[in-house]
Structure 1
Amino acid sequence: MNKRITSKELAKLAGVSSATISRAFSSDSRISAETRNRILSIAQEHDYQPNALARSLNSQRSGLVALVVNSIQNPPEAEQLQYLVQRLQTRELLPIILCCSGYDDKAHLMRMASAYQVDHVVVFSDMVSYDDAIQIFRSARPIIVSSEPLTGKHASHINIDGSNAVREVIDKAVADGRKHFAYLTGRKSSWIDKQRKQWFADALREHGLAFEAEAHGDYSYDSGFKEAVVLLRRSKVDTVICGNDVMAIGVRDAATRVLGKRVPEDVAVVGQDGISMADWECLDLTTIALDAAGFIDEVVRLIERDQSQDPEPERVVLDLKVRWGSTC
């Protein structure tokens, strides 16, 4: 086994400066392919790897990005994270993913990540205190993603607004003669779910309508299926709005397979999130969706913008869109 060497020793072996060694291990640095390949070959021969921690001390940048999420088991979050992680890695930024679900002391979780001197933090989770996140990651200029209106927060904010898309869905449902609406919620403490329900309640109010029934799930397929059986048996609901797509798929299956109802003729089903599975031909779910690519583009843009000196916090509003399917 070859003994590991230092960057200075590698530079001497390659006949280049220490700065050239650093550039060889950075994909966006200006260095000829021949020189880079020669340095990497010698490095491999002597089992050399650059010390990222030492480099971060010199540059005052760690290249780490903390991503605070509810759960990576949640399909929309998993899909967004997959795309975001790929985008970050192409920029030689490494994500630290903090999953808040099932973790009681979420402030401690964030403090653990902040100890690594992360350069950036993006808070997707509505389980954490935004004030805590901003305080704990104050040197990283947090980016908050939320449907909640944030004022007086020294952080950039990506605000998700679904009011126009929801109004479009309700307008069509009412035009189709639907009058009896129910809402299937997810986690009761979720600000996002409360905001989503409020968008629909406001749109129904414009037509002199309101939710006639409500059920409580947990964002899972099983909860959507189980709650739909009870809900549709005990009421004359003709439209079920669900807190996410996974529950909506459960509602659709319960209506057709257990209760013998036709979707959408007897009961319409609407989901929220726009997960890729909802677009499968066998499901073809109508859902309120976020443009995932455009959303991640904005996140990455704010991260890159925050690398400049003392940028002012920025507020970005992204509108949700209706992705029409055969269930409504």
Structure 2
Amino acid sequence: MKDVAEAAGVSPMTVSRAFKRDASVSAETREKILKAADELGYVFDATASNLRSQRTGFVAAIIPSINNANFADTVRALSACLSEHDLQILLGYTDYQIEEEERLISQMLRRRPEAIVLTGGKHTERARDLLSNAGIPVIETWDLPERPIGHVVGFSNAAAMKDMVDRLVADGYRRIGFIGGDDKGDTRGADRRRGVVSALGAHGLDTTRLIAAGAPPISMREGARAMARMLEHYPDTEVVICVSDLSAYGALTECQRRGLRVPDDIAIVGFGNYEISDVSVPTISTIDACSAEIGRVTAELIAELVDGAKPAGKARVIPVHPKLLLRESSARR
């Protein structure tokens, strides 16, 4: 730092402030310091600075899967917005196992994150104890938990599916099936299944057309296999609601292999608004979970809490409102 200061003609303290983006350092001076640092190959030691300031500058985020487009969109928006506040993400994934989530929470809290972001509201009791005593903001996303630990940014997966069932019934569908959401590891999938069953029951319709598609995450191949079983066990089904767009696309391909026309012979609906649902033939009706909005809103909440711009106050519940996207795969002619 002393070498950089001499090269830039400033004090070492000014160099430190420039790397921290301190407002007392002008843009011209900061640019000169950064240029000198680049020429000398200097990298600012944030660890030493953090020891003095008691700040780590990172936010822990735990998601179920790293290859799920919805969670990727959430993390991307979360990261982009946090970076505007000089905060970075330390990311972990659970593979849909709450025991692994507990381990990750314990590991990440040892590194003193500024906040921790979780996916869903179901955790082990030890994980809940760790989070409750962490002394940092805890934000549960993608759900509306019955027992929130701290702040919440999410929606009811069951209610979102109820809205879809209500719309399908209004469009004239009566024999409605569901694929996926049977595994306890995917609580959001289980909630979607519960929402479908509850809505069908409220309409006085058959609630037994349920096909388990395997452990999460459910792939296109598993969606195709589940659709094959649906057609074998319930051949008169009019529309199939799938736990995700990937399983819906697999279901669509199985219908096409069998020469069934979608939606004329059978309609298909997904969840998640993946890119594949918008480019498939036919395009797939789905529910937009507003994945990026969840990340952006969560990041804004964290920045507000960490910066201390406002008193912490009570834990906040910020609802996100999923959108029904009705496309070709369920259009009644």
The equivalent residue for 1:4 is none
The equivalent residue for 1:141 is 137
The equivalent residue for 1:227 is 226
Q: What is the CA–CA distance in structure 2 between the aligned matches of 1:228 and 1:154, rounded to whole Å?
A: 38
The equivalent residue for 1:209 is 205
1:197-221 deviations in whole A, cap 9, x for unaligned?
A: 2222222223211323211114110
Q: How does 1:120-131 map to 2 (within 5 A)?
A: 120-125=115-120, 128-129=123-124
Q: How does 1:2-81 map to 2 (within 5 A)?
A: 7-27=1-21, 29-81=23-75
Q: What is the CA–CA distance in structure 1 between the aligned matches of 2:170 and 2:25, rounded to whole Å?
A: 64
SS in 1 for 2:271: strand
Shift of 1:32: 2.7
Q: How does 1:279-298 map to 2 (within 5 A)?
A: 279-280=278-279, 282-298=281-297
Q: Gaps (5+ residues) in structure 2?
A: none
Tell me which moved more, 113-122 or 158-167. Answer: 158-167
Q: What is the CA–CA distance in structure 2 between the aligned matches of 1:220 and 1:326, rounded to whole Å?
A: 22
Q: CA 1:149/1:277 → structure 2, altered by over 3 Å: closer, same or farther?
A: same
Q: How does 1:1-328 map to 2 (within 5 A)?
A: 7-27=1-21, 29-101=23-95, 105-125=100-120, 128-129=123-124, 132-133=127-128, 135-136=130-131, 138-151=134-147, 153-162=148-157, 165-186=160-181, 188-189=183-184, 190-218=186-214, 219-235=218-234, 236-257=236-257, 259-280=258-279, 282-307=281-306, 308=308, 310-328=312-330
Relative to its length, the structure with more strand (as a share) is 1
Q: CA RMSD in A?
A: 2.4
Q: Gaps (5+ residues) in structure 1?
A: 1-6
Shift of 1:38: 1.7
1:32-87 deviations in whole A, cap 9, x for unaligned?
A: 33212221222223322111111111221111111111011122112222232222
* Aligned-pair identity (%): 25
Normalising to structure 2: TM-score of the pair?
A: 0.86
Q: What is the CA–CA distance in structure 1 between the aligned matches of 2:284 and 2:263, rounded to whole Å?
A: 10
SS in 2 for 1:16: coil
Q: What is the CA–CA distance in structure 2 between the aligned matches of 1:18 and 1:126, rounded to whole Å?
A: 47
1:161-201 deviations in whole A, cap 9, x for unaligned?
A: 25665344323322333221111114511221121122222
Query: Is the 1:180–1:211 Cα contact (8 Å) retained in structure 2?
Result: no
Q: What is the CA–CA distance in structure 1 between the aligned matches of 2:169 and 2:189, rounded to whole Å?
A: 23
Letter in 1 for 2:329: T
Query: Is the 2:102–2:126 Cα contact (8 Å) retained in structure 1?
Result: no
Q: CA 1:77/1:130 → structure 2, altered by over 3 Å: closer, same or farther?
A: farther
Q: What is the CA–CA distance in structure 1 between the aligned matches of 2:122 and 2:315, rounded to whole Å?
A: 22
Letter in 2 for 1:277: I
The equivalent residue for 1:3 is none
Normalising to structure 1: TM-score of the pair?
A: 0.88
Shift of 1:130: 7.0
